[in-house]
Amino acid sequence: MTFQPSVISSQPQVNSNQYTVSSGLSDWTSNVFDCCDDCGICLCGTFVPCILECKVAQDSGETCCLAFLPGSSVPLRTNMRHKYRIEGSVCQDWCMMFCLYHCGLCQMAREQKMRS
């Protein structure tokens, strides 16, 4: 028995398609300084932020008591970003809620209102 090599007359072709990979992340529907876009949320966030944070927590499926725990606004904001697939990071959430608490809280309330 003799071995006869097969002759390759053509190379297999690879079909390469270009795909655009999208992260699927969006932005907030309002800017952090758009507080006056909704005067009710703005007034509540300015004068009784614990009530507004309680409402934001309840609308997120959390207990109202979350608003009275120190630092609870950061995980609340992070949870909202993940739920609505908003771009950002935990570090940005912490900076926002530490430096601009009232504006960040109002932004979260407006976001919930726009998406509900």
3-state secondary structure 33-74: CCHHHCHHHHHHHHHCHHHHHHHHHHHCCCCHHHHHCCCCHH
User: Is residue 6 pLDDT above 80, yes or no?
Assistant: no
Q: Give the count of domains, the chain.
A: 1
**If phi over 0 gives left and psi between -120 and 50 gives alpha, with beta otherwise, what is residue 85?**
left
* Within-domain flag for 99: yes
Q: What pLDDT is recorded for position 36?
A: 85
* Within-domain flag for 13: no
Q: Which domain holds residue 91?
A: 35-115
* Within-domain flag for 108: yes
Q: What is the pLDDT of residues 21-74, one digit of tens each?
A: 456 788 999 999 998 899 999 999 999 999 999 999 999 999 999 888 999 999
* Within-domain flag for 29: no
* Within-domain flag for 81: yes
* Within-domain flag for 106: yes
* Within-domain flag for 8: no
* Within-domain flag for 9: no
